Structure 1
Amino acid sequence: MKQIFAVFFITFACYALANAFFSPYCQENATCVRGCSWGLERGFNGVANRVLPGHDHRNLTVASPVLCGRECLIDDRCFSFHYSEGERRCELNGATASRYPMELIEMEGIFYYGPEEPKLVQLLASGNKTGIPSLTDCWYHTHASAASECRRTGQHLCLQWELDHASKEGYPTTPPSWYADPDSLAVLNETGVTYHDLPLTAPSPGLCCSLPMTYRDPVITPKSYELADRAGQARGCSDLAAHPCTLAELKEAYDHGYRSLYWGYLATPNRHAIVGCHHGDDCYQGTIANTPRPNERAQVYCCPNRT
């Protein structure tokens, strides 16, 4: 069925009871609400024949989706809504499809309207949701609070390789967001991922992931380790939901097109490797240069754990 997308904007003064939809945020140990301090102009992007079940908290009858959107904007619990033209039924939701992308389902005659960018709405409606991170509806001041919200739904703050994967899948631009590294924020867009070192004072949403894995490219630890520090090397990979790569895993990565010019440690003790064979080096199956004369300090090739 051909999908129909709609965009509309509602503009009105933000009263004391209204809360701004732009910047929902959570203080530590506080209920998530939407704080308001300015006039409001907010767009809702709609997709036909899609609903986000199980998150509605208020139902009413109104003449148009514009009026339904107005009701959402003045309800501090509302983050998205459904509208049925035939029944003039308005359902206010306490969550968004970008937070629960796997739960968005098809239902004839009902529009889902949310704050997501049109590209994300289209991606969600396409049915291809594999590897799509969920962006928390609330914005948090601390990494721990964002991580807790991800764990509440059986997810985790996205790892770097998961963000890279999402970017390749066409995930649209996000605000600076919490991810696995507690010392920086990530901005995800269709051309890659950029990172911003803390401190940043504004609250930020969290990017939550739960991507099942088959094959994924290796990742390299952000820090270097002493050659003898095998436990530290393993912990560095574990922080990335990974383990030090074996030569066979690096060969598999090479066969998938992965290349790296970094000399890094691997699972084999007292060796380091490059993913690519160079003349004169010891090479594993003609692909992975590795040598028993490693650097005294290096980063580690980590192969993501598979589920």
Structure 2
Amino acid sequence: MVFVGLLFLVLTPCLYAEAYETCPLRNNDAQNRDMSFDKFSDHVLQGHGYSDFKGITRLKCAMKCLADTRCFSFQYTEADTGCVLNGASASRFPLSLTAANGTSYYGPEKTSFVWKLLQLASEYPGLPGMTDCTYPSPASAKSECLRFGQHLCDSSELQQAFDAGYYQVVSITNRFWYAVPSGSVIMGSRGLAYSEDLPSPVITTDDYPSTDRDAMTKACCALEAHPCTLAELKAAYLSGYRQTYDTPWLAFAVPGRDAKLFSDGCGTYSGAECYGGVVATTTRPLANLKMICCPFCRGLPGLCCPAG
């Protein structure tokens, strides 16, 4: 369906637009997904177009964006039926929104949100950008910032952004990675709430067939978590997380393997069966086992601040 200023598209199976590279975490819960693009007239996202087309309709332009895993937004010119696919959104690069008579930006943000974002960008050159992908850790979000010469915002930069009114263009429930290892922040209208420690891993109540990764992932998401990686299990151990003696071997993010954190790390396991010197892992999982899950369900976006 097409409405003035707004495109609604339904694709099967789900195609998720990702900026320039594959997002480490995506929504695997649904095979069908609704995607909408809001129109922001006479503006483009300058410097982030990577593919252009001529002589196609606005709807076909939107379909090309959804079918390309690098695309998060697009711009369309009615006069020459020109289409440009963008590898990012205005939320990611608010300082790149530029006036362009006759060309409209179409992105996942509501038009009122983009207006406010544009106003803030004109008043505050240090405005953060919210990553289009979600990440399992600050380190992985940091790498996304660095690819564009930016860095994860520190607490002083976040305070300046809050004072400038950035909280008005993020959800009050949104939590983000910032420049502290394992550190996350919630930005709301009343201020900033920091957490410098991740919640400990949790273990699913039920056992699942070791081959049913989808059921395990959904069980983790129900606990507001995702299947732990070996790196996350090592980080949890180094942060003080321990399993009891009777904790069974558990499934984690790697299919066909199990893992266990003994009080002394790998216990009697060594070599390829001892990750990082602290996580025991084997290729002999039981037919049915529980999953160990790490926060958060789909990771968190990072807040990237411009250099200087």
Q: Which residue of 1 aligns with 2:6?
A: 8
> In structure 1, how many angstroms separate the alpha carbons of the residues matched to 2:23 and 2:99?
28
The answer to whether the 8 Å contact 2:153/2:179 transfers is yes
Deviation at 1:94, TM superposition (A): 1.0
Q: Partner of 1:204 in structure 2?
A: 300
Greater helix share, structure number: 2
Displacement, 1:132?
1.2
The residue correspondences of 1:212-223 to structure 2 (distance < 5 A) are: none
Distance (whole Å) between structure 2 residues aligned to residue 189 and residue 33 of structure 1: 26
Richer in strand (by share): 1
Instruction: Indicate which of 16, 20, 35 corresponds to 1:20.
Output: 16
* Range with greater deviation from structure 2 (74-83 or 178-187): 178-187
Give the percent of matched residue pairs that are identical in Structure 1 and Structure 2: 37
Partner of 2:182: 183
Rounded Cα–Cα distance in structure 2 between residues aligned with 1:162 and 1:119: 25
Q: Does 1:173 align with 2:170?
A: yes
Q: 1:55-99, CA deviations, whole angstroms, 9 ceiling, x for partnerless residues?
A: 222222466434422321222111110011111211111122222
Aligned partners of 1:34, 1:89: CA distance in 2, in Å? 32
SS in 2 for 1:108: coil
Q: Which residue of 1 aligns with 2:132?
A: 137
Q: CA deviation at 1:165?
A: 2.3
Answer yes or no: is the 8 Å Cα contact 1:170–1:189 preserved in 2.
Answer: no
Is 2:83 aligned against 1:104? no
In the alignment, which residue of structure 1 is the partner of 2:141? 146
| Partner secondary structure for residue 140 of structure 2 | helix
The amino acid across from 2:94 in the alignment is: P
Tell me which amino acid in the other structure corresponds to 1:32: C
C-alpha distance in structure 2 between counterparts of 1:62 and 1:36, whole Å: 33
Secondary structure, aligned partner of 2:161: helix
Please, what is the CA RMSD of the aligned residues?
Answer: 2.9
Query: Which has the larger Rg?
Result: 1
Q: Distance in 2 between matches of 1:34 and 1:85?
A: 35
Letter in 2 for 1:173: V
CA gap 1:46/1:25 in 2 versus in 1, 3 angstroms: closer
Counterpart Cα distance in 2 of 1:141 and 1:33:
8
SS at match of 2:103: strand
Aligned-partner Cα distance in 2 for 1:55–1:25: 10
| 8 Å CA contact retained: 1:83, 1:111 | yes
Given candidates 90, 108, 123, the residue that maps to 1:128 is 123
- 1:179 Cα deviation from its structure 2 partner: 0.4
d(CA) in 1 for partners of 2:114, 2:15: 23
How many residues are treated as equivalent by the alignment?
A: 200
Q: Closer, same or farther in 2 for the Cα pair 1:161/1:7, shift >3 Å?
A: farther
For CA contacts below 8 A with separation 6 or more, give which structure has more relative contact order.
Answer: 2
Corresponding residue of 1:295: none
Contact 1:45–1:114 (8 Å) recurs in 2 = yes
Q: Please list the CA deviations of residues 123-148 of structure 1 after superposition, one character each: whole Å capped at 9, or x if unmatched.
A: 34333342310112222112111112
SS in structure 1 at match of 2:180: coil
Partner of 1:296: none
CA distance in structure 2 between the partners assigned to 1:12 and 1:177 by the alignment:
29
Q: Distance in 1 between matches of 2:178 and 2:151?
A: 9
TM-score (norm 1): 0.56
